[in-house]
Structure formats: C-alpha cells, structure tokens
Amino acid sequence: KQEVTQIPAALSVPEGENLVLNCSFTDSAIYNLQWFRQDPGKGLTSLLLIQSSQREQTSGRLNASLDKSSGRSTLYIAASQPGDSATYLCAVVFSGGYNKLIFGAGTRLAVHP
C-alpha cells in the first residue's frame, strides 16, 4: 500500500532555530512530492514542489530535498519565526496512480518568541 508518513507529529521550537521536518513514502516510484502549509481553519498553500527528476527546491528560508531511493524528503526551515507556526503536510503523487495525491498526516509546528 502506498503511504506517506510524517515525523514528528508536533514540534515546538524557540524563534530563530533552524529545523527539519521529515516525510517518508513507501514506494520510490513517484512523479513528484509537494510540501504544503495549512493554517488553522484555512486551506492549504503549496510551498515547494519537487519533481521526481529533481533533488531539491528552495524558496526563501525553505529548502526541500528529495531522496527517492530511500523514500524520504525533508523540509528545512531556516531561522524560524512565530509566523511559521502552522501544520506542514507533504503529499506524493506515486507513479502507479499518477493522478492521485497521497497526503501525510502533517507536522504541527509551533515557533514561540
């Protein structure tokens, strides 16, 4: 079964820390992997999209890496700020079901001043 797992489920850090969120997936045959941010009561905002041929993507303080062989992706947030507090989800399009997006359960991040 194709699954996406995110660890940890929750994370609390002081402002200014660099942090890493983890995402693992069960099948290395993927089309792409996407990281999203969800604020309470709101929709999802796509942060970074990594195609299967890419190793990483960067946007501002965010960097996402992809290692298909090990079935892992990491989202690196540099110099965290209270405004980064949100739930971060990763989602994978597996090659077998190219039009299906499988989501992880998310990591709830709290950055305190």
Partner 1 sequence: EAQVTQNPRYLITVTGKKLTVTCSQNMNHEYMSWYRQDPGLGLRQIYYSMNVEVTDKGDVPEGYKVSRKEKRNFPLILESPSPNQTSLYFCASSWRYNEKLFFGSGTQLSVL
Q: Which residues would be at the binding site for partner 1 (CB under 8 A)? A: 31-32, 34, 36, 41-46, 49, 51, 89, 91, 93, 98-101, 103-106
Residues in a beta bridge with 35: 48, 90
Number of C-beta neighbours around residue 7 at 10 A = 12
User: By C-beta, is 80 or 104 nearer to partner 1?
Assistant: 104
To the nearest whole angstrom, how small is the minimum distance from the Cβ of residue 113 to partner 1? 28
| CB 62 to partner 1: min, Å | 14
Smaller CB distance to partner 1: residue 12 or 51? Answer: 51
Q: Which residue has the tokens 């820390």?
A: 17
What is d(CA 41, CA 97) in angstroms, rounded to the nearest whole number? 29
Q: How far apart (Å, rounded) are the C-alpha atoms in residues 34 and 40?
A: 19
Cβ nearer to partner 1, comparing 23 with 80:
23
- Nearest distance from C-beta of residue 14 to partner 1, angstroms: 28
3-state secondary structure of 83: helix
